[in-house]
Structure 1
């Protein structure tokens, strides 16, 4: 007579345990803690440019949607403060490209609201001076990527009236540009780029109104491009080869490197994104981190200093932003 009741209680208990397991999975917290950093002291803007030299970061240029800027600022993480440096001497612009090589920063290309540009400039933080260098040898453009690999600068992709995939090397010792093997993927605008252990990486961006789902590694010694795992859902029958990186692709996001791992956040893909992903080039794997906690945005800047990453400025809808956020990648989300 009691068996039906016992079976009912057992069934309910099993449902309760299943619900607890499901809730535990849903409540699993992602690692990485975002906190507010010192607010950028220049005017709110999008399409700015940044690079790091030593233990400091440099941010400048950009637009507020009406005017373009040429002011330039230094961030010191030890003091958590900004200091204004010498204004950029070229025409004010946004969506420029740049990199830092051997203790000096380089900025060029971009858009001044009317013209696409190809001039190129060097910043020496020790003297707080700018020097005009050889113009970028490719076509005038905006939305390109810039990166440093093994003491040389590289600049490529972007838009010159048409979307591009050419790739150029700059040698600061000779002040000369040399065209290298074109980027291995399709043409693109608003891509992401970073360098880890002597290898350059370019990924995502947009072409023909589609956000790209590939990532490529560039070896400067062989001048070869190698495609890494697609940024897609891979539901393979092969054991251990299932992954879902379909939330990584975006355009006009930010990428930065901390302790030989890359981080991608911000940007847009059918709407602005707050997700943050960590890339390990050794295993060619992506791991989701805690989502960016500021307003979702595009055309922001991001950089890594020490064991922290920083993201700031950008545009959210029609609003330009001047906040900065710091990521401690290995801390619990609080």
Structure 2
């Protein structure tokens, strides 16, 4: 009888221990996503660089180390985890420029060379490994703007030209023409992020005269309309318990995996490591595992396949040349 009771107690304890380790347990906090180091960026450490993705490869270049303004460009192949240098950018070295890919080509423009705000605009052909100057950006010369591409057209908006901006422009690679579109629906801002989800372009975060913006807007190119989504304020009421007021920041990175947008790093009075995923399906934000590298601002982010990547950036006077990959579906205790 004593052995039977002892066995029952042990089974009860074991059952309780196993229950406390399950994903549904309220006693253990779980977040989703795991970060892993990849091949170090082959150029010099920097911040304020640009990136775009073409044919399953990422292209990264420009930026500054605090003194020099770079013009080199590099191609990253995820299948081999290797970097290869491309033709250098022909324009003046710069940082806080914009980049996007459309119609099989990469595009880079605007930015700051340390003295001047810029508006020149360039096309990169990966097959020929050549750059061609295109029509200047039709808005004012600026830096710290955002860009994305939908249906083989590029879109550029916000930034700083001596004043904070909210104008919004479309670039058509086939005609080499810029067309002004309805202005961004939120406040003017600098250092925001942009991503594409469900064939709409999203712009959020950033600073307007020292205020961290808490709105999130999407642009539908078919209807040329802006729609405001869930504010980055307060706590979720759908059961996740996530505090959305932790999402606003400036000089962060963003990328797209599947139909979800991701925002990571940056600063909000202090440097941040947190990473958040936005789902347009339920207009909700989900916290992911904190970035595993050092805190930083003004890095680059890009999505390749079913993974997101973060590279470069700065923390104080320190510049980084590391590359990290996010497995967004990995469970982490």
Same fold (TM over 0.5): yes
Aligned-CA RMSD value: 1.9
Q: How far did 1:77 drift?
A: 0.3
Task: Tell me, yes or no, if structure 1 residue 328 matches structure 2 residue 327.
Answer: yes
The separation in 2 between residues aligned to 1:67 and 1:126, in whole angstroms, is: 29
Structure 1 match to 2:81: 80
Task: Tell me, yes or no, if structure 1 residue 67 matches structure 2 residue 81.
Answer: no
Structure 2 match to 1:309: 308
Q: How far did 1:272 drift?
A: 0.7
Q: How far did 1:321 drift?
A: 0.4
Q: How far did 1:241 drift?
A: 10
Structure 1 match to 2:246: 247
Structure 2 match to 1:281: 280
Structure 2 match to 1:208: 209
> Does the Cα contact within 8 Å between 2:96 and 2:112 map onto a contact in 1?
yes
Structure 2 match to 1:3: none
The separation in 2 between residues aligned to 1:235 and 1:330, in whole angstroms, is: 21
**Secondary structure, in 3 states, of the residue corresponding to 2:99?**
strand
Q: TM-score, normalised by structure 1?
A: 0.90
Structure 2 match to 1:133: 134
Quickly say closer, same or farther: Cα 1:136–1:205, change in 2 above 3 A: same
**Secondary structure, in 3 states, of the residue corresponding to 1:246?**
helix
**Secondary structure, in 3 states, of the residue corresponding to 1:82?**
strand
> Does the Cα contact within 8 Å between 2:121 and 2:137 map onto a contact in 1?
yes
Q: How far did 1:240 drift?
A: 6.6
Structure 2 match to 1:35: 36
Unmatched 5+ stretches in structure 1:
1-16
The separation in 2 between residues aligned to 1:44 and 1:246, in whole angstroms, is: 31
The separation in 1 between residues aligned to 2:210 and 2:141, in whole angstroms, is: 22
Q: How far did 1:261 drift?
A: 1.1
Which moved further from structure 2: 75-84 or 218-227? Answer: 218-227
**Secondary structure, in 3 states, of the residue corresponding to 1:107?**
strand
Q: How far did 1:234 drift?
A: 4.6
The separation in 1 between residues aligned to 2:67 and 2:180, in whole angstroms, is: 35
The separation in 1 between residues aligned to 2:208 and 2:85, in whole angstroms, is: 36
> Does the Cα contact within 8 Å between 1:119 and 1:135 map onto a contact in 2?
yes
Aligned runs of 1:107-118 on 2, under 5 Å? 107-118=108-119
Q: How far did 1:244 drift?
A: 2.7
Deviations 1:228-277 (A, max 9, x none): 000010577xx879763111111100010111111110100011110111
Deviations 1:179-230 (A, max 9, x none): 0000000000000101122211000100010110010010111111110000
Aligned runs of 1:133-152 on 2, under 5 Å? 133-152=134-153
Q: How far did 1:29 drift?
A: 2.4
Aligned runs of 1:154-233 on 2, under 5 Å? 154-233=155-234
> Does the Cα contact within 8 Å between 1:34 and 1:333 map onto a contact in 2?
no
The separation in 2 between residues aligned to 1:230 and 1:317, in whole angstroms, is: 30
Quickly say closer, same or farther: Cα 1:321–1:243, change in 2 above 3 A: closer
> Does the Cα contact within 8 Å between 1:194 and 1:202 map onto a contact in 2?
yes
The separation in 2 between residues aligned to 1:118 and 1:99, in whole angstroms, is: 15
Structure 1 match to 2:7: none
Unmatched 5+ stretches in structure 2:
1-16
Aligned runs of 1:119-130 on 2, under 5 Å? 119-130=120-131
Q: How far did 1:47 drift?
A: 0.1
> Does the Cα contact within 8 Å between 2:198 and 2:280 map onto a contact in 1?
no
Q: How far did 1:67 drift?
A: 0.6
Count residues with an aligned counterpart.
Answer: 313
The separation in 2 between residues aligned to 1:315 and 1:112, in whole angstroms, is: 17
> Does the Cα contact within 8 Å between 2:62 and 2:73 map onto a contact in 1?
yes
Structure 1 match to 2:13: none
**Secondary structure, in 3 states, of the residue corresponding to 2:245?**
coil
Structure 1 match to 2:5: none
